[in-house]
Chain A
Amino acid sequence: MARDLAIDLGTANTLVYMKGRGIVLNEPSVIAVNRKSGEVLATGHEAWDMIGRTPSYIVAVRPLRGGAITDFDITERMIRLLLQRVGVSRFTRPKVVICVPSAITEVERRAVTDATRRAGASDAQLIEQPMAAAIGANLPIDEPVGNMVIDIGGGTSETAVISLGGVVALEAVRVGSFDIDATIQAYVRREHGVAIGERTAEEIKIHIGSAEPSGQDQSADIRGRDLVSGLPKTVRLTAEEVRFAIEEPVAAIVLSVKRCLSKAPPELAQDFISRGIYLVGGGGMLHGLADRISRETSVPVMMSSQPLEAVVLGAGHCIENYQSLRGMFMGSRR
């Protein structure tokens, strides 16, 4: 008998929760495929190490962009491999709950459920990421009080107001931490004439990237390829430059939070001032982002204790209480 699963199929990372056991898999959403034969060569961490370093016949790709499936066939194969790795065979077909962005279209929704069913699930249900995040962040969403959660993923940023087990207000933008990386790449290319890869851009963001000035601004030496000579080149990048470079996606995220706050009913809005807003997702770990949102909204912002796992833990809780929480799935009555 297969144990039911919850999958956070994120643009950046994929996490799998197994009923009764907890999180059993956590790895990058990357798959490496042989272009000639179509064979899958690696997934997860192994495939991530290959990004930008493969010979021409191998392609290491992220099959999701902006939370949506860009390559249905590769996504299906990735889900099939994930299910195999956690012990699902053709004789054991589990129920699967998948976390997806709330802004997903009907076509994208069907693509995810079809890919999951074809990969071996007996039933595939979808849950909105901010709802799963609120459950996983352990917010008191069973009470008639306003709970606000911001989930900043690789491809999407979603803000939701939740009360009495349901979404009251929701705002989503297809801007995430990958867009922040892309703006760093573009800035270094434009201002320093150096091409850098997406992994280098991510490292820059993690080490010296920030959304708000701090007392101790740092700098870092970046290695890339000179666009004129084509030779390797090292340039020094300051934290202030990175902050300037990433301003556009950061401002878009902050604006979506403000829009969600303005949609919330006044009775719930007063709860945010006393209870604060919770930040989850890898993108929320950008230095100074919580302070920036707090400064612009005048509402305290706290980081969840499990920012990377909150979404899958919430979906895992739904799989543990499948019958009682069926109403939370997308397309259900409630």
Chain B
Amino acid sequence: MTAMSILTSLMILGAAVCGVSLLVLIFLDFRTTRIDDGISSFRRHIDALSPEARRDSIIRHEDNSKVGRSE
């Protein structure tokens, strides 16, 4: 009877440890993803400000203005 009770307690403890470990792993994974998100979002932000990205909107307008002035 006592052995059964100890076994049950150990099983409950094991399950709790597994559960907590799983939660910790999920939290760490979530945290890593968020850091990656920050990096990729900042990279997108900087890339969108590069001269290549601005070529379509700003440099195109400057070129059109130059053509307009020369005409």
Contacts and interface: CB of A to CB of B under 8 A. Distances in A.
A135 interface: yes
Contacts of A334: 45
Contacts of A328: 45
Interface stretch (A110-118, A137-145, A258-266): A137-145
Given A23-B61, A138-B58, A327 B45 contact: yes
B49 interface: yes
Contacts of A141: 49
A325 interface: yes
**Which of B41, B47, B49, B59 has the most C-beta atoms of chain A within 10 angstroms of its own C-beta?**
B49
A324 B45 contact: yes
Interface residues of A, number: 25
Contacts of B47: 142, 324
Given A22-B61, A306-B62, A309-B61, A320 B56 contact: yes
B58 A136 contact: yes
Nearest to B56: A320
A316 interface: yes
A138 B59 contact: yes
A305 interface: yes
B1 interface: no
Contacts of B62: 138, 305-306
Interface in B18-71: 41, 44-51, 53-54, 56-62, 64-65
Contacts of A140: 51
Nearest to A305: B62
A142 B47 CA distance: 7
B54 A316 contact: no
Interface residues of B, number: 20
A316 B56 CA distance: 11
A138 B45 contact: no
A334 B44 CA distance: 13
A135 B58 contact: yes
Interface in A301-334: 305-306, 309, 313-314, 316-317, 320-321, 323-325, 327-328, 334
A320 B57 contact: yes
B53 A321 contact: yes
Interface string A282-317: 000000000000000000000001100100011011
A306 B65 contact: yes
A164 interface: yes
A165 interface: yes
A317 B46 contact: no
Given A324-B47, A334-B45, 16 more contacts: A22-B64, A135-B54, A135-B58, A141-B49, A142-B46, A142-B50, A164-B46, A165-B46, A305-B62, A306-B61, A306-B65, A309-B65, A313-B61, A317-B57, A321-B53, A324-B45
11 contacts: A138-B62, A142-B47, A142-B50, A165-B49, A305-B62, A309-B61, A313-B58, A316-B57, A317-B53, A324-B47, A325-B49
Interface of A: 22-23, 135-136, 138, 140-142, 164-165, 305-306, 309, 313-314, 316-317, 320-321, 323-325, 327-328, 334
Interface of B: 41, 44-51, 53-54, 56-62, 64-65
Q: Which 6 A-B pairs have the closest CB atoms?
A: A324-B48, A142-B49, A321-B48, A317-B57, A324-B44, A142-B46
